[in-house]
Amino acid sequence: MTTNTFSTLGVTKSEVSPTDDGFMSSSLDNTVRLWDLRTPSTRGLLNLPYSGVVAYDTSGVVFAVALNLYSKILLYDTSNFDKEPFQTISVDDTALARISFPVRPLVMTSLEFSTNGKWLLVGTSGGTHYIMDAYDGYMLARLTRHQPLDPKQPLGAQPTRLISGEEVCWTPDSKYVLSGSEDGKIYIWDIASRGELTPPKPGRDADTLQPSVVLDGHVGPTRCLRFNPRYAMLATASNDLAFWLADSGNADTEDRDRDGDGDTRMH
């Protein structure tokens, strides 16, 4: 058994490599550490100006680090992590500027690459999640209507990660995005039905997508969602844990949406 010693200030995120025995962690000491499960010491260390949120792409060749202080996502080559990031993505939601001034801080709490490698899902503590172009860095879509788990950050506050971060994810085929919510429901956005996601025209906001289905999930806030791709099973967690299987499509329509408001209960 190998014991890996993390930062004493607390780990904010850990991510397992999809291709080897490596994993990485981000900590409150403003570092990202790369590990090998076979050894107790780190095989790489990044010193950052602010604590980050990390994620591998599906090939394990690239990893991303989100820095809330700058609203930036840095993309690194895993084999050359000690070099400068090869891509920097700015997460600027122009729609927020029309809601309040100064703009409330956009706090990124999770990152997840789509399995096709084209998109990067950015989960936030607010009422909007984002889909970014993983190659060119454009904001492609805004995902709304769910109720955020974290309370609103006060105007002018420094971005701070609180309790959210595990409540939004892709389906294994990258056709849908699912998110938990403060109201306990599970919100599902149909990305595949949009066709090719394109960046907004100059001066325009990214497209705002409404959920296509809303499932009755838990009595308390749904704080974590994760898929088992082998069995097409979804696990969700609140004060209790629930497992979901994909609908065969034969369920009675009345059972799937009793009141016609888009809310659906899976049995």
DSSP code, position 166: B
> What pLDDT sits at residue 259?
45
> What pLDDT sits at residue 222?
94
The pair of three-digit structure tokens given for residue 265, joined into one six-digit string: 């209960």
144 exposed, middle or buried (CB, 10 Å; 0-12, 13-18, 19+)? middle
User: Is residue 122 a contact partner of residue 132, using CB atoms and an 8 Å limit?
Assistant: yes
Kindly provide the residue ranges of all beta strands, DSSP E only, lying in 22-107, ordered along the sequence.
Answer: 22-27, 31-36, 42-47, 52-56, 62-67, 72-77, 87-90
How would you write the pLDDT of the chain (267 residues) with one tens digit per residue? 455 665 556 888 899 999 999 999 999 899 999 999 998 889 999 999 988 999 999 999 999 999 998 999 999 999 999 999 999 999 999 998 888 777 777 889 999 999 999 999 999 988 999 999 999 999 999 999 999 987 665 545 555 555 678 899 999 999 999 999 999 999 999 999 999 999 999 989 999 999 999 999 999 999 999 998 888 899 999 999 999 998 765 444 334 444 444 444 444
> What pLDDT sits at residue 80?
93
> What pLDDT sits at residue 101?
77
- 3-state SS class at 132: strand
> What pLDDT sits at residue 257?
47
> What pLDDT sits at residue 221?
92
Tell me, what amino acid is at 97? A
Angle (nearest 5°) at CA 5 between 3 and 8 = 150
Distance of CA 97 to the CA centre of its chain: 22
Give the number of residues written for the chain: 267
